[in-house]
Amino acid sequence: MSLRLQFLIVALLAAALAAGWWSLDNWKGDGGGQKKATTSSQTLVLVEAIELTDDHISLRVVGTGKAIRSAALHPAVAGEVREIAFKAEQRVKKGQPLIRLDDKHQRLKVQLAEVAVTETNRQMQRMQRLAPSGHAARARLDTAQAELNTARLHLEQANAELRDRTIFAPFTGVIGMTDLNRGDRVTEDTMAVTLDDRATILVEFSVPETYAGKIKVADTVIVRPWSASEGDIEGKITALASRIDRATRSLRVRAEIANINDRIRPGGSIEVRLSFTGKAYPIVREVAVLWSRDGAYVWRVVDGKADKVFVTLVRRDKGRVLVDGPLRPGELIVVEGVQGLRLGQKVKTAPFKAGAS
């Protein structure tokens, strides 16, 4: 190849390289201008005004049912069982005899006391007739009166001892099962039978310390017994503990419910639902909440520019989120177009319409 031809080829290659460089430089200039133009233009975002809503709190806990009145009956004295005058689950009235112990000696003692009262009363009446006429001394009349009073006290004591040989129902209710049989020996420490007034059921439960200040006496609760799950029952809070339990960090609460048709048994587990209104918080749509290494945040539009606001999530509610942060009612929050936004970026806003495609 001649030297001239070599120079010609090098010149052609240099020309081609210069032309390619010039074209590339022009292409970059056009792209940069386009990017700059795009950056300088406003981004369209869909926004929604902030509203405040009350935080409606629903709390579910498990409680235990108790009869409004309940007693474990014991004999007043030791003795032998002579009669059991009830059947398990029988409804008994106040004062009704339930269990009788052997009372032969007590009945005899009552009869002797009655005879003594009769005799001393006869002597007293005789002295009352003789004293005014002087046929009996006043001292004898006083002695007769003292003897009558003593006899009456002995009779009252004998009747009390006789009564102690029988266990009576202290109130109207439903009697339980007993392990005693006729002929068994019992003492004052023997638990004979239980009695429950189940017309009203007390429900005792505990609520976490966080909610202790939100409930009060007379608040309504909804309960559902596990043994009678066919429907809810409305009740009222009747008592609150005076302090938080240090071990469980909870507050003891008591409510009352009517035991309609006697369908609830004391001692059973009962689901308790409480509802109360908490603090008012801004509510935003879930899609408006983003996350970063610093936590959750939303984009707020201030003077046509994007502003990042960090928030704390309080509670989710059907596609929306209650948040806690420096947000005020009426401020605009970006719902769509949040991706790619930068702090201070100019935005053009349009109302967000739910359900629009």
| Residues present in the chain in total | 357
Q: Measuring CA to CA, which residue among 296, 206, 192, 203 is closest to residue 247?
A: 206
In sequence order, which residues have a C-beta less than 8 Å from that of residue 18 and are 6 or more positions away? Answer: none
Q: Measuring CA to CA, which residue among 199, 216, 305 is closest to residue 262?
A: 199
CB count within 10 Å of CB 193 equals 21
Residue ranges per structural domain of the chain = 43-54+280-351, 60-66+196-278, 71-186
CB count within 10 Å of CB 30 equals 10
Assess whether the region 43-54+280-351 and the region 60-66+196-278 belong to the same CATH fold. Answer: no
Question: Between 138-163 and 104-130, two packed helices, what is the crossing angle to 10 degrees?
Answer: 160
Q: What integer pLDDT is reported at residue 25 of this predicted model? A: 47
**Rounded CA separation 329/323 (Å):** 12
Q: Quick one: CATH architecture of 71-186? A: Beta Barrel (2.40)
**Rounded CA separation 258/225 (Å):** 12
**112: DSSP letter:** H
In this structure, which topology does domain 60-66+196-278 adopt according to CATH? Elongation Factor Tu (Ef-tu); domain 3 (2.40.30)
Mean pLDDT by groups of 10 residues along the chain of 357 residues:
60 62 46 41 86 86 93 95 94 96 94 93 82 67 86 94 96 95 95 95 93 89 79 91 93 93 88 86 92 92 92 87 92 88 90 71
Q: What integer pLDDT is reported at residue 247 of this predicted model? A: 93
Q: Which CATH number fits domain 43-54+280-351: 3.40.50.150, 3.30.300.30, 2.40.420.20, 3.90.1150.10?
A: 2.40.420.20
Q: What integer pLDDT is reported at residue 21 of this predicted model? A: 53
